[in-house]
Structure 1
Amino acid sequence: MIPAELEPLETPIKANSLSIPNAQEGLKHYFDQIRKFPMLDAEEEFMLAKRWKEHQDRKAAEKLISSHLRLVAKVAAGYKGYGLPMADLIAEGNVGLMRAVDKFDPDKGFRLSTYAMWWIRATIQDYVLHSWSLVKIGTTAAQKKLFFNLRRMKGELEDKSDFLSADSIALIAEDLNVSTNEVIEMNKRMQSGGDSSLNSPLNAGSLDEWQDWLVDESPNQEDFVISKGESQVKNALLHKALQSLDPREAKIIHHRRLLEDPKSLEELAQDLKISRERVRQIETRAFEKLQRAVKSGAIQLRIGGETGRG
């Protein structure tokens, strides 16, 4: 059974040591390349897997991996709707495939594709959960299951409305072992609808348009000054917290979290001459360190303010 959230495991099979295409070099070229690798029959797959398992034959591992790259691309395509680069989804899925090849036991009688499917999905889902801001509430296995299954279940229940019916909410909550409030909250976060014209009527037969009911929500001058002051404090806290990182951690955080067009794991791995998995580990550790430093700075600032007022 593959865990819902993978630990950042290392595998003796490294992508940069294999002669396989790289999705970061262009998707069209990548897809053209992976179609050239032949599918393996059961006997050939078994023999290659035995050679890797018993003799660590890298050529055998490479052939097993290359013959299943199309499987990874197919699985990754199912996660395009989460707003993440397809090349990164494929790269993550390939990491899962390499882990699957490393751990595959051909003597158990299963085909590699059956076993690898779980690892590919798990690594891609783990990447989505750690990269997509909408899913920060997905802290439990049940919530993650809700995130990845809500759309499908709404379709099965034929509930197309933005706001789920009470019966649909109850059925989804029971099936996925989450609270009804979690279903409601997740559905709100995942709603997406088309743009509507401000000149459209409020309802059928109405002469009133939506624009007639728009409220000026811009802050008054006092609110603006307060907001600007808070923003300056937050920026100062972040700047100070960044100083707690070592140069490599700061560089990874800057390029992965602070730029409008962040770099991919693969780009940073090549730049720093380390593995993608190592970049991910450093990013996770550095972000946690940054959060602790910001919280500590905020607490100190609050204590200082209370002391000053006293």
Structure 2
Amino acid sequence: MGSAGDRASFSMYRAEMMSREPISAEAERDLAQRWKHGERDAGTRLIEACLPFVVTVALEYRRWGLPMEDIVQEGNIGLLKAADRFDPERGCRLATYAAYWIRAEIREFVARSYRIVRLGSSKGERRALRVYRKTLERDPEVLGKLSGLSKERAEELLPLLSAHDMSLDRAPGEEGLTPLERLVSNDSDPEEKTCAADERMRLSQALEQVVSELGPREQSIVQQRWLTEEPATLEALGTSFGVSKERVRQLEERAKKRMRARIEEISREPLAESA
């Protein structure tokens, strides 16, 4: 599952990525805006600036025994998908925005690989698995001699042998989840989170607008009854306004109806062009 040469190559790539200087939020925003306007070079620089972050995320999955260069490549695919959707005006960095897609691509790759790869396709491999389980031998030369495999083949199998307890489809653990289920993220994707945030902002603005259209007493009732951690009683408000508790209740109900009707009206209005 990755030769010594592959590991050395990945180590060099990792060192190169980690030596890169990060770009500022302002520079990132400028590159993103230029890319949206068709400057391919700006897009390339934007994505390359985020490659070290992909390596950092990929290292979280090294315990699965799969080639790190393949895991990084899958993460890079996730980064490309995120970069294509990235809007610098949302106020977050590309790395933060891309984390969901990077992990999603890597998780899918890990799950797919572990469902395809099976130990024991030959007598030597089955023998190597038995030997490893008994001795936990990590020297590929010794493992090869004990199992009848070549040193090179034993070296390729060792990462998977050491990860045999990570079978994705085994019985659930203490958390009640299999490793495969723990790979799955239940988080909403950034698009859903952004839309939800926009909707909350829109409703908040609509509420402020509606309250401002109420009369002075109705505004006071709304503020003291609904928009405070310790709502005032109808009786207390009645005393404050010099009216009966029943009159305050009527004013409150009238305010509710007016606000409900106005919020429904505002919700049907089209979004502004800048939204």
TM range (shorter): 0.3 to 0.5
TM-score using structure 2 length: 0.40
TM-score using structure 1 length: 0.36
